Amino acid sequence: VMTQSPDSLAVSLGERATINCKSSQSVLYSSDNKNYLAWFQKKPGQPPKLLIYWATTRESGVPDRFSGSGSGTDFTLTISSLQPEDVAVYYCQQYYSPIYSFGQGTKLEIK
Amino acid sequence: QVHLVQSGAEVKKPGASVKVSCKASGHTFSYYDINWVRQATGQGLQWMGWMNPNSGNTGYAQKFQGRVTMTRNVSIATSYMELSSLTPDDTAVYYCARRGSRGMDVWGQGTTVIVSS
């Protein structure tokens, strides 16, 4: 089970946004020392977009204001300087076990 | 360029089944598991299951066990997701996604399924 916090968040343009994700089980795979945790951005009418994989690696083309941190069971997505196009719902997902569950989502808005 | 192209929107009556297709191009079809994820209006992303196109092996979320079947046709690089015994609660946008070592990195455009009498 993946649990995100908060459920919604309002941040001023140019300010930092932080979203947390907690897994009920460790997603750290011992054989390669990688955390099988991804972050997605979801906008209406579009498929989810992969932002971060292995908990900390930015997908190609994703702006460097997006960063991921954490290990084991606790993870964070940080947007360092919020831009208007970042308004979306953000989801974490573990892809460690064969049950690839998502968090419930965090809705990010402009304050 | 890698693409997953899904079949068009469907309208079904309660109790019916729906079969959504997902055609892959630009990568070796058998190398990547295909996952299915849905999103009902106003709800979050819900993972439904995965299928290995090479072996045909599948794994389904408990919520959909007994109601979902994932198959493939390797010759045309196409995966399928069939959901039976539909209810209005199954009204959603259904997505296929490729699962590699980076996770679900390529997604289909989504298929809207409406269940209504």
Q: What average pLDDT does this structure show over A25-47? A: 95
Give the pLDDT confidence score for residue A88 in this predicted structure: 98
Q: How many residues does chain B have?
A: 117
DSSP string, A52-98: EETTTEEPTT--TTEEEEEETTEEEEEESS--GGG-EEEEEEE-SSS
**CB-CB contact of B110 with B38 (8 Å):** no
**Which of A42, A57, A98 is closest, CB to CB, to B45?**
A42
- pLDDT tens sequence across A53-83: 999 999 999 999 999 999 999 999 999 999 9
Query: Which of A36, A91, A98 is closest, CB to CB, to B45?
Result: A91
Name chain B contacts of A101, Cβ cutoff 8 Å.
47
Nearest to A102 among B47, B109, B110 (CB): B47
- As given in the structure block, the two tokens for residue A61 are 């083309």
B95: closest chain A residue by CA: A47
Q: Which residue has the tokens 């079904």?
A: B12
Amino acid at residue number A97? S
* CB burial of residue A91 (10 Å; 0-12, 13-18, 19+): buried
pLDDT at B33: 94
What's the whole-number average pLDDT of chain A? 96
pLDDT band at residue A97, thresholds of 50, 70 and 90?
confident
Long-range contacts of the stretch A56-65 (C-beta < 8 A, 24+): A57/B102, A59/B102, A59/B105
Residues in B touching A98 (Cβ below 8 Å): 50, 59
Of A77, A79, A75, A76, whose CA–CA distance to A63 is shortest? A79
Please report, in angstroms and rounded to a whole number, the separation of the first and last CA atoms in chain B. Answer: 40
Phi, psi dihedrals of residue A88, rounded to the nearest 5°: -175, 180
B chain contacts of residue A48, beta-carbon cutoff 8 Å? 37, 45, 95, 97, 104, 107
Determine whether the interchain pair A91/B44 forms a contact, defined as Cβ–Cβ distance below 8 Å.
yes
Phi, psi of B19 (to 5 degrees): -125, 120
Write the CB contacts of B43 (distance below 8 Å, at least 6 apart in sequence).
Answer: B92
Q: Is B60 buried (19+), middle (13-18) or exposed (0-12) by CB count in 10 A?
A: buried
What are the residue ranges in chain B where pLDDT is below 70?
none
Residue of chain A whose alpha carbon sits nearest to that of B59: A98
> How many CB pairs (< 8 A) connect A and B?
62
Percentage with pLDDT > 70 across chain A: 100
Q: How far apart are CA B26 and CA A91, in angstroms?
A: 27
With beta carbons under 8 A apart, name residues in chain B contacting A93.
45, 47, 103-104
Neighbours of B10 (CB within 10 A): 16
**Strands laid side by side in the A2-5 sheet:** A2-5, A17-23, A74-79, A66-71
pLDDT, residue B68, reads 98
Q: Which pLDDT score, from 0 to 100, does residue A43 have?
A: 97
Q: Is the pLDDT of residue A49 over 90?
A: yes
pLDDT for the residue B30: 84
Instruction: Report chain B's mean pLDDT, rounded to a whole number.
Output: 95
- Residue A99 clears pLDDT 90, i.e. is over it: no
- Residue B100 has a pLDDT of 87
Do the bridges between strand A66-71 and strand A57-58 make them parallel or antiparallel, or are there none, so unpaired? unpaired
Q: Identify residue A61 by its one-letter amino acid code.
A: G
